[in-house]
Amino acid sequence: MDRFIIRGGQRLRGDIVVGGAKNAALKLLVAGLLTSERLVLHNVPRIADIATMRRLLEQHGLTVEDLDGTGGTLAVGGAITNTEAPYDIVSRMRASILVLGPLLARCGEARVSLPGGCAIGTRPVDMHLKGLEALGAEITLENGYINARASRGLVGERIVLPFASVGATENLLMAACLARGRTEIINAAREPEIGDLVACLNSMGARITGTGGGTLTIDGVEALHGATHHVMPDRIECGTYACAAGITGGDLRLVGGRLEHLGAVVRTLEESGVEVLQEDDALRVRRTGALRGVDIMTEPYPGFPTDMQAQFMALLSVAEGASMVTETIFENRFMHVPELNRMGARINVHGSSAIIRGVHSLSGAPVMATDLRASFSLILAGLAAHGETILSRVYHLDRGYEAVEQKLARCGAQIERVQD
């Protein structure tokens, strides 16, 4: 397993190119199941989860062609020959559950492994299943698998989501594209990645309105055709590197970053003493003075994103004063706390809230990554710490961030990957 060795103390300066959004690209690949024609995606991030999704779609019978030889432009095509999504893939990547709606819509059947929990929570899929049943699917659970049938096809319906679940919104949205009649998804998630998926589906001939407003209306069509789509920039990657500028007292240009995608992150960065300005094709992020403690509560978009919580906690651990971070989306997303405390942070967890008392500086230490975003919070702490930090289990990071050591080293960080 790979490790990172980080020697802290450098102020990061320079340009970092923001890649395609992981949480858009994964679903855009799944949209390839909705048509027998070719879907071409540009600006696909080169990360492990994309490779896993390619394997999943290929075992369904699709072809996923690497058009530019770098993994950045993929063409999804071919016919579905297998409607089962196996445990060994689904258990590695929860986003695999999103093939359920498209398989039902295209083939009238699907057998998908229950994803099970992950490090940050139990991650149930009850809203996905209830919504698909509302569209006419018959669903049973057996031997850890979801068996779903819709032999007479799916029929549009009015669905109210009890929580603005990103995944449930996406599964139902894709299924409804080929249902008979109109579907309304009330209390739909409003994350920008869903807007990107809607734009792609509409370019494939779907009829979807209401993006970003909390209610999505989908008028089903007979079939979708091929299209070409450019994946939106990754707002979480962008926000993560903005924290790198903040914690090191640096000055970065995040090329491709878009202010309007960052929602509450911009306000929180500025409250904590980090300036964010939209320049022509980049976000300019720099520290304007001492870091100040702020209170954060994670919420669905446009609130503060849970995927930025761990990174921000690293930043706040060296801010002046105290901060409180409340995690309302996942039940176990504080696993970075004990590792940050080993580096000298002073963080106490009380239920779903963490109290952070800022310290003057952190000290490098051997630490362990536990999940995708936690692994980057430890990198951020290492960049600011005195001495050397060794981060193990970097495979967590490789699932969702592309070329981290290269992007950081080009801006002056002392970071290297060591293969065990």
| Binding-site annotation, residues for phosphoenolpyruvate | 22-23
Question: For residue 163, how far is the Cα from the chain centroid?
Answer: 18
Q: How far is the CB of 162 from ligand EPZ (least distance, A)?
A: 8
- Chain positions 327 to 366 lying near ligand EPZ, rule: CB under 6 A, are 329-330
Among 26, 154, 208, 318, binds ligand EPZ (CB under 6 A): 26
Give the per-residue contact string, 368-387, with ligand EPZ (x = CB under 6 A; - = no).
Answer: ----xx--------------
Q: Does 395 bind ligand EPZ (CB under 6 A)?
A: no
Instruction: Specify the stretch interacting with ligand EPZ by CB under 6 A; choose among 159-167, 225-233, 285-293, 340-348.
Output: 159-167
Q: Are 404 and 19 in contact (CB under 8 A)?
A: no
3-state class of 234 per DSSP?
A: coil
Between vectors from CA 51 to CA 46 and to CA 52, what angle results, nearest 5°?
Answer: 140
Catalytic residue among 107, 118, 200, 411: 118
> What Å distances lie between residue 202 and 74, 205, 207, CA to CA?
19, 5, 6
User: Binding site for UDP-N-acetyl-alpha-D-glucosamine, residues?
Assistant: 94, 307, 329
Q: Does 410 bind ligand EPZ (CB under 6 A)?
A: no
User: Binding site, residues?
Assistant: 22-23, 94, 307, 329
Among 53, 95, 114, 245, binds ligand EPZ (CB under 6 A): 95
ω into residue 302 within 30 of 0, thus cis? yes
Q: How far is the CB of 241 from ligand EPZ (least distance, A)?
A: 15
Q: How far is the CB of 120 from ligand EPZ (least distance, A)?
A: 6
3-state class of 200 per DSSP?
A: helix
End-to-end Cα separation, the chain, in angstroms: 5
Distance (Å, whole) CA 37 – CA 414: 46
Give the per-residue contact string, 287-306, with ligand EPZ (x = CB under 6 A; - = no).
Answer: -------------------x
Q: What share of the chain is helix, strand, coil (3-state, %, to 5)?
A: 35, 30, 40
Q: How far is the CB of 292 from ligand EPZ (least distance, A)?
A: 26
Helices 126-134, 166-176: axis angle to 10 degrees equals 20
Q: Does 52 bind ligand EPZ (CB under 6 A)?
A: no
Among 167, 239, 250, 382, binds ligand EPZ (CB under 6 A): 167
Residue with smaller CB distance to ligand EPZ, 41 or 319 = 41
Q: Does 123 bind ligand EPZ (CB under 6 A)?
A: yes
411 is catalytic: no
Among 165, 311, 370, 392, binds ligand EPZ (CB under 6 A): 165
- Sequence-distant (≥ 6) Cβ neighbours of residue 253 within 8 angstroms: 14, 15, 16, 279, 282, 283, 284, 285
Q: Does 141 bind ligand EPZ (CB under 6 A)?
A: no
Nearest to 139 by CA among 92, 95, 171, 165: 171
Q: Does 235 bind ligand EPZ (CB under 6 A)?
A: no
Q: Does 166 bind ligand EPZ (CB under 6 A)?
A: yes
Among 125, 232, 276, 413, binds ligand EPZ (CB under 6 A): 125
Tokens of 360: 């003057």
Nearest to 363 by CA among 323, 318, 333: 318
Distance (Å, whole) CA 246 – CA 249: 5
Residues engaged in binding ligand EPZ (CB under 6 A):
22-23, 26, 94-95, 121, 123-128, 163, 165-168, 306-307, 329-330, 372-373, 400
Known catalytic residues?
A: 118
